[in-house]
Amino acid sequence: MTLATTPAVLNLLKEERPLIDVRAPVEFAQGGLPGAVNLPLMIDDERHQVGIAYKRQGQAAAIALGERLVSGEVKQARIAAWQAYLAEHPDALIYCFRGGLRSQIAQQWLEEAGISRPRVEGGWKAMRQALCERIESAALQPMLVVAGLTGCAKTTLINQLDNGVDLEAFAHHKGSAFGRRPEEPATQINFEHALAKRLISLTEGLVIEDESRQIGSANIPLSFWRALQQAPRVRIEMPLDWRLAQIQQDYIIDLEQAYAARYGAYQGWQLMQAQLSNALIRLGKRLGNARLQRLQRLQALAFNEHAHGNPQAHEAWLAPLLTEYYDPLYRYHLDKQRETTPPEIHVGDWESCLAVARQWNR
């Protein structure tokens, strides 16, 4: 029986073709392809046993063990899961690690059930190579970096642009000690894949926020990072009260809503408090003990006020955190950057920087 294949090309992701990843859950958790659903041929323990058999006894013994482990009702349940997904997504494609045995077995079982679907040639590995190559090639594209003090709504500006690239969204992290989100941070692989997918349709200039190389658990790929360091910049300058309003919206109000949506109002509120409290503690060595204790007292008072309907009370600890820690730190790094990066092409308020970014590279 000849089983159909389709080339591992990035257009599959650009077109948002549904994808069935038949690898084990542990493999998928490390990184899947954007938009893929994990419907494994073998679960983790089964894969582990087959892997041991392969090392000790060879491929034939491993295949025979796999057929015993995934048979009868277990096999029918796996096929039923694929059938159910394909009933809703009839144009879905199948892939495994290299487009080899596991995806071929899935295809064959589906064929026997009367459903024909292609597998991706070269599987996950070939698609990942294409995605990584897209990031490498993007490092050669023109880039504009949006810089500014904490609270200048740089991410909001990026997302106003058709050619904006929101690295924090791909990392599931807002890029600071307080930047954790309710969802798990992206793995390195998933971060790279999300970035590459965004870059597929952006073939000219890219506008990107000024970031540290590490965002949450993910690192910006080195060639891309180096290109960012040499890119022209615009810098947003906004007054403290404006920035505080942005921070309260992003890090307090929106964060509370995100936790409540994921965990419910009560547990979400507890988890949000724990996150913000722990973030302050993580800065303890840099803040110094006396300042940390002062900010912790102010933060505790703010939580109490917030619980009684006054989230604006957080300004009492956010304002000194900005003026005494984040702003001086940013200005120090800005001075260091000026030694190695091109001069800024514009410094101004948020609206003027948005206008410059829109006109840049046209």
For residues 172 and 216, is the Cβ–Cβ distance under 8 A?
yes
Q: Which two tokens stand for residue 325?
A: 């820690």
Question: Which residue in the list 96, 132, 152, 353 is annotated as catalytic?
Answer: 96
Amino acid in position 335: D
Q: Tell me, yes or no, if 96 is annotated catalytic.
A: yes
On whether the CB atoms of residues 185 and 171 are closer than 8 A, the answer is: yes
Does residue 145 sit in helix, strand or coil? strand
Angle at CA of residue 176, ends 171 and 178, nearest 5° = 100
- Residues with Cβ within 8 Å of 187's Cβ and at least 6 positions away in sequence, in order, are 29, 30, 31, 217, 218
> Which pair of tokens denotes residue 164?
């904006």
Indicate the DSSP class of residue 180.
B
Distance between CA atoms of 177 and 324, rounded to whole angstroms?
15
Q: Are 244 and 153 in contact (CB under 8 A)?
A: no
Residue 269 identity? W
Instruction: Measure CA 290 to chain center.
Output: 36
Residues in contact with 62: Cβ distance below 8 Å, sequence separation at least 6, in sequence order:
50, 51, 53, 54
Residue holding tokens 């694929």? 82
∠ CA 265-271-274, rounded to 5°:
140
Active-site residue set: 96
